[in-house]
Amino acid sequence: MPVYQTFRGLWLGVVLAAGMLVAGCGSQGGPPPGGMTPQVSVVTLKPQAVTLTRDLPGRVSAFLVAEVRPQVSGIVKQRLFTEGGSVKSGQPLYELDDAIYRAQYNSARATLQKAQATQEAALLTAGRSAEMLKIDAVSAQDNDNAIAALGQARADVAAAQAAVDSSAVNLAYAHIVSPINGRIGKSSITQGALVTADQTTALATVQQLDPIYVDVNQSSSEWLQLKQDIDAGRVQAGASGAPAKIVLENGSTYAAAGALQFSDVTVDPTTGNFLLRVIVANPSQLLMPGMYVRAIVGEGVRPVALLAPQRGITRDPKGGATALVVNHDGKVEVREVRVSRTIGDQWLVEEGLSAGDRVIVEGLQKVQPGMPVTAVEAAAADAGETAAAGAGTAGKTATAGK
């Protein structure tokens, strides 16, 4: 027999044996992997009460602000405070040269004493005139003149007393004091400077920083949507004094919680925003006027709401939101949804989903609409994976012990 025929027979035998082996393996195994039903993790939506909050940017502003200005003119003799320090109401801040005002005060007191002496003389004259009138020793005209002189003297005393009070006020104004408790900033003048009454430039500014305000701005469109939800009964309005959490510009949360104090009644036409004011305790004075912060303000409570996991909601290039759900037939179904805001790691669902829907959160890449799937609750799936991982670790440890 030729050699090539021998090799040909051997090759055919190998091919036939391989074919029989493959056929045998196929008859003993299950369905191919392509025919298996994929397993996906789902979250079943349940209605729940949700507190609505809004993260708003804002600026810190002082609780009280007092600009210190002179009420009389004069030369500054001395500054009596430390810049940047704390001051009390009535604490002296500046001392002006009061020589002129003290002289005016002394002159007014002398005028008052003169008027009082004249009044005393007129009182005695009027008394004698009244006694003499009884015995017809003076005429009625002279008695009337004495009474009129007494009235004039009393008026002069009152005018002199008013002049004394006015000069005393001006003398006191030469000693400029703090109008409120707080911290004082830098001084705009130095010793020896001339200041004038009611000047436009403040000598210094005192600010009360505890408590302190946080002024935030909310869009009028957001407020309008919230108002419509409240009127429709979908949201229960939050009362005045609703809690607010303050987030500092470095991302840390401020220790003390604030409270919503009031909402402005005017919308800024240039920005379309209106003011919300939050009051918060500031004992350590960590919050300073002008500081940028964010306030998470409670707007109300939605008693019945649906929250869908963010990982179960996808968006198309046009911004539309969709979700894959497992319907009652166990097949994948596409839903177009509308979401309004994030709450933690979830979306607040407005339309497209309802209570009881099973939203796919894991295995999205291996399923298509209309495909039958095996749905497992995400919490149960995570627990199973954790238990399997723990069992695997325990087996490895036992093996290592052996």
> Rounded to the nearest 10 degrees, how much is the dihedral formed by the CA atoms of 70, 72, 78, 80?
-40
Mean pLDDT of the chain: 82
| Segment (H or E) for 149 | helix 140-173
What does the pLDDT read at residue 264?
A: 77
8 Å CB contact between 324 and 359: yes
Q: Does residue 65 register a pLDDT over 70?
A: yes
What does the pLDDT read at residue 21?
A: 38
Strands, E assignment, 196-291 = 204-219, 236-237, 243-247, 258-263, 273-280
Q: What's 98-173's CATH class?
A: mainly alpha
What does the pLDDT read at residue 229?
A: 67
3-state helix, strand, coil in the chain (%, to 5): 35, 35, 30
- pLDDT tens track for 242-292: 788 999 999 899 999 888 887 777 888 888 888 888 999 999 989 999 999
Global pTM value: 0.65
Q: Does residue 375 register a pLDDT over 70?
A: yes
Q: What's 51-63+208-301's CATH class?
A: mainly beta
What does the pLDDT read at residue 230?
A: 67
Write the single-letter amino acid at 195: V
Q: Does residue 96 register a pLDDT over 60?
A: yes
What does the pLDDT read at residue 20?
A: 39
8 Å CB contact between 198 and 69: yes
What does the pLDDT read at residue 396?
A: 43
8 Å CB contact between 75 and 193: yes
What does the pLDDT read at residue 35?
A: 57
Q: Does residue 397 register a pLDDT over 60?
A: no
Q: Which residues, in sequence order, are bridge partners of residue 10? A: none
What average pLDDT score do residues 339-347 get?
A: 87
What does the pLDDT read at residue 390?
A: 45
What average pLDDT score do residues 179-206 get?
A: 93
How far is Cα 363 from Cα 371, in angstroms, rounded to an integer? 12
Hey, what long-range contacts does 108-115 have (CB within 8 A, 24 or more apart)?
108/160, 108/163, 108/164, 108/166, 108/167, 109/164, 111/160, 111/163, 111/164, 112/157, 112/160, 112/161, 112/163, 112/164, 114/160, 115/153, 115/156, 115/157, 115/159, 115/160
Query: Of all residues in the chain, what percent carry a pLDDT higher than 70?
Result: 82
Q: Does residue 399 register a pLDDT over 50?
A: no
What does the pLDDT read at residue 47?
A: 92
The domain spans of the chain are 39-50+305-383, 51-63+208-301, 98-173
Q: What's 39-50+305-383's CATH class?
A: mainly beta
Strand order of the β-sheet with 92-96 is 175-177, 92-96, 74-79, 194-195
- pLDDT tens track for 9-59: 443 343 334 443 333 443 333 333 555 788 999 999 999 988 888 888 999
